[in-house]
Chains A and B, each alone.
Chain A
Amino acid sequence: MTETEINLIGGLRKQSPRAQQLLLDCYGREVFAQVARLVPGVENAEEVYQDVFVKVFRNIEKYDARRSGLKTWISRIAYNEAISFLRHKSTPMVYYEDRSGEADKLTDAEVDETFGQANAETVQLIRTALKHLPPDEQALITMFYYEEMSLKEIAYVTESIPSTVASKLSRTRKKLCKIIKMLQS
């Protein structure tokens, strides 16, 4: 942990508005992007974003630097707030559900081939297919591929264990590939 971070946490513990403003400047954009990825609609994302930071400011005493970095801790709060918001949302959302276990029948070679082709058509198909995944799986894919978080960090954010995250990631990858195949056929 850097000295700046130690000072920042110290300031947050004293409820200093300056430290709070600094935290927003440092992590605000990333948190907003994380929330906006999961929660549809800018207004909803704004609401969840505010709730996340109010929670961060109130619960800063509970932050344990030995367990995670400050950014990962804030990510965890943001993830939980967004998922909780979606659960309480009145409008139902439709996602692909692999009831018959079709995705598991795909071989690793097939999946690797699909995601390894960096052409415009495949990228477009993947973008469409991503919208068919439930929010938690979308978040998992983004945390792993875009934010390049480690399995341990993802496990901390999602309140899980690394081995579970790895198997869930593998399943989600296959599911995504199955959706792409469905779109192609």
Chain B
Amino acid sequence: MKEEQIDILRQQDVALRDALKLEEAELPQLPADLNVRLMQRVADVDKKPRRIIWPWLAAACVAGVLMLWLTPPKEMPQDVVATQTVVEQPPIINNKVEENLMTKVETEEPKPAPAPVKSKRAKKQKQPVVEMPVIVTLDDADRNLAIVETGQPVVKQVILTEHDIPITRPENYKYTPEELALLRKQADEAYLKWVELELEISKNNLQQTAQQE
């Protein structure tokens, strides 16, 4: 729309301009003491001594750089997905564990936990560190039981995927179409009710204006 057309509109829309004039007349007036309060506020702000913060900022930056410089580099990159290092323990001989338990019951003295006995066979079977994305779901008690029963450590492995994190599941952060439709319907109903109320108010105003005239 061109400037001339716009100007014509401005002149044509008499009712709109009248409505705006009435609205303006009803606006609150500038409080008499507001400017005095404002000048007081400006004076207070000017009086306040300004803190010099740049030396502190510079010191913080230097400290940050030094920390980065002095921190040793990480040997292995870590994945975002839970990655846990599992070291398989050598098997423990059942008799030895039972013996330790017996001793504990008889003496009832706190003793350090028995160190696992390393056999030659275990040494042979000992593997290097295994790295894979897993969650170890056994606690220490379960692990001990498993060791006693089978002689071999049982490790339950669960591979984590993005789907296992509830917040990333699409169904958890999106509304279903039915829910959306319901929300929209409720919003429309609420708005209509509000419009009806506004209409009532304006009708009432009209009646009052008519009575005054």
B16 contact set on A, CB distance < 8 A: 115, 126, 141, 145, 176
Q: Does B71 contact A (CB under 8 A)?
A: no
Q: Taking chain B's interface residues, is the majority helix, strand, or loop, or is none over half, making it mixed? A: helix
Q: Does B18 contact A (CB under 8 A)?
A: yes
Q: Are A150 and B202 in contact (CB under 8 A)?
A: no
Nearest A-chain residue to B196, judged by Cβ: A183
B: interface residue count bin: 35 or more
Nearest A-chain residue to B16, judged by Cβ: A115
**Given A141-B16, A151-B6, does the pair A183, B202 have CB atoms closer than 8 Å?**
yes
Q: Are A145 and B20 in contact (CB under 8 A)?
A: yes
Instruction: Find residues 10-57 in chain A having any chain B CB closer than 8 Å to their own CB.
Output: 15, 17, 20-21, 24-25, 28-29, 32-33, 36-37, 42, 45-46, 49-50, 53-54, 57
B45 contact set on A, CB distance < 8 A: 54
Q: Are A32 and B18 in contact (CB under 8 A)?
A: no
Q: Are B209 and A124 in contact (CB under 8 A)?
A: yes
Q: Are B22 and A123 in contact (CB under 8 A)?
A: yes
A interface with B by C-beta (< 8 Å): 15, 17, 20-21, 24-25, 28-29, 32-33, 36-37, 42, 45-46, 49-50, 53-54, 57, 94, 96, 112, 114-128, 130-132, 141-142, 144-146, 148, 150-151, 162, 166-167, 169-170, 173, 176, 182-183
28 cross-chain CB contacts under 8 A = A17-B43, A24-B39, A32-B29, A32-B34, A37-B23, A42-B31, A50-B41, A53-B38, A115-B12, A115-B14, A117-B15, A119-B15, A123-B18, A124-B202, A124-B209, A128-B198, A128-B199, A132-B198, A141-B20, A144-B6, A146-B17, A146-B24, A148-B10, A166-B1, A166-B6, A169-B1, A176-B16, A183-B202
